[in-house]
Amino acid sequence: MKSYFTFFLLLFIASCNKENNAPSNTPSNQVFPNEVGNHWAYKYNDGSNSERYIFVDIVGTGTLPDGQSATIWTSTLQNATNQKYLLDSSFVVIDEQKAVFYGVPCLTCTTQMPEEKRRYIFPLQVNNKWFTDKFFGDTTKVLNESSLTVPAGTFENTFQLSKTVGYVVNSFTKDTIWLTPNIGMTKFYQNEYSLGPLPGNGIWELSSYKLK
């Protein structure tokens, strides 16, 4: 009888340890809601005193030169006088293993793929990192998982990532990204230079969102 009790006790402990150590990760299509019509608004701070926002919208679909279907994401800056400026557009491919953000394909090219701007490998796990084949290095790393408070609220199980690209001729990337499952990017510190600071440099904090 004692041996049976010991066996079930050990089985219970192992079961508890397995449950406690289970990652809270989710597939990329849950980290990045990817439906046309999705909208995120970020309070934007670049060190100036004016109140500004950056809006990220999924505006349509397209096809990459290699035949992949993609959604089209845009980032728009609204200044203090409510004027809007397009900052960036991306063709985005998302499945259960990854999310890849590409530049807009060349209209006069037939086979050349656009530059890969960002890649996220899922499921997210602290200390995981991955690379692209850029000559001066392009590394993304999952730094930690914790709660995050931004104007839109407090979000649990949020992953903080870093993305770095090596320095060359006053050009580099040292970004920090916070991703929350089922919500997407909840905070972003953009620190990018290409012969000078790029538009959008500063802190983006999620203010509101509308998902399909």
**What's the pTM value of the predicted model, to 2 decimals?**
0.84
Strand segments (E) across the chain = 39-45, 52-63, 69-78, 84-94, 98-102, 116-121, 129-131, 138-150, 153-168, 171-180, 184-190, 192-194, 202-210
Residue 20 lies in a domain: no
Tens digit of each residue's pLDDT, the chain (212 residues): 444 333 333 333 333 433 333 445 566 777 889 999 999 999 999 988 788 999 999 999 999 999 999 999 999 999 878 899 999 999 999 998 999 999 999 877 767 889 899 999 999 999 999 987 766 778 999 999 999 999 999 999 999 999 999 877 788 999 999 999 999 999 999 999 998 999 999 999 999 999 99
Question: In terms of residue numbers, what domain contains 197?
Answer: 28-210
Residue 113 lies in a domain: yes
Contacts of 94 (CB under 8 A, 6+ apart): 28, 29, 32, 34, 71, 100
Residue 13 lies in a domain: no
In three state form, how does the secondary structure of 39-82 look?
A: EEEEEEECCCCCCEEEEEEEEEEEECCCCCEEEEEEEEEECCCC
Residue 173 lies in a domain: yes
Residue 108 lies in a domain: yes
Residue 178 lies in a domain: yes
pLDDT of residue 1: 46
Domain count, the chain: 1
Q: How far apart are CA 161 and CA 27, in angstroms?
A: 16
pLDDT of residue 169: 78
> Is the separation of the CB atoms in 169 and 194 below 8 Å?
no
Residue 139: CATH number of its domain:
2.40.360
Residue 185 lies in a domain: yes
Residue 21 lies in a domain: no
pLDDT of residue 69: 97
